[in-house]
Amino acid sequence: MSTTPKKPKLRHLALVARDPEKLAEFYSGIFDMEIFHRDPDGSCFLSDGYFSLALIKHRLDGETPLGMNHFGFHVADTAETSAALVTAGAEEPAERFTNRPFAEYRAMDPEGNWFDLSAHGFGGPRPSGESDDDQ
């Protein structure tokens, strides 16, 4: 079974948090999400099997506010999606240079909201025998 969706699927949300570990325990305890990755800086990544939730450690850099940071789409082809964005007047998505293996490109909508594009998905556990095509 393929894990690449036939049409783009919203599969990721990133929040900036003061205490990602405490927030991860909240979401895993109440909503039974699985913590599947922790960064050395304290950021935590959870999944319900379909959707990943990144809880990014807040830094006192004066530039990154608490709350929603970005969301992400699982797409069949990042080049095709990037071309469609440019045709629609958006800036060309930029390759993400990070040690996190969760998304290949970062883009911005017309209002300035960041979102990621990933052809390989956003990580985390998957329900057995299910793929994005099942939804």
CATH of residue 74's domain is: 3.10.180.10
Instruction: Specify the number of domains making up the chain.
Output: 1
pLDDT in tens, 14-48: 999 999 999 999 999 999 999 999 999 999 999 99
pLDDT of residue 133: 46
Residue 1 covered by a domain? no
- Structure confidence by residue, pLDDT tens digits, 98-109: 766 678 899 998
Instruction: Judge contact between 80 and 22, C-beta under 8 A.
Output: no
pLDDT at 86 over 90: yes
Task: Quick: pLDDT tens for 110-128.
Answer: 888 999 998 887 777 665 5
- What pTM was estimated for this model as a whole? 0.79
3 lies in some domain: no
Burial status of residue 30 (CB atoms within 10 A of its CB: 0-12, 13-18, 19 or more): exposed
Burial classification of residue 15, based on how many CB atoms lie within 10 Å of its CB (0-12 exposed, 13-18 middle, 19 or more buried): middle
Residue 2 maps to a domain: no
Domain extent at residue 106: 9-134
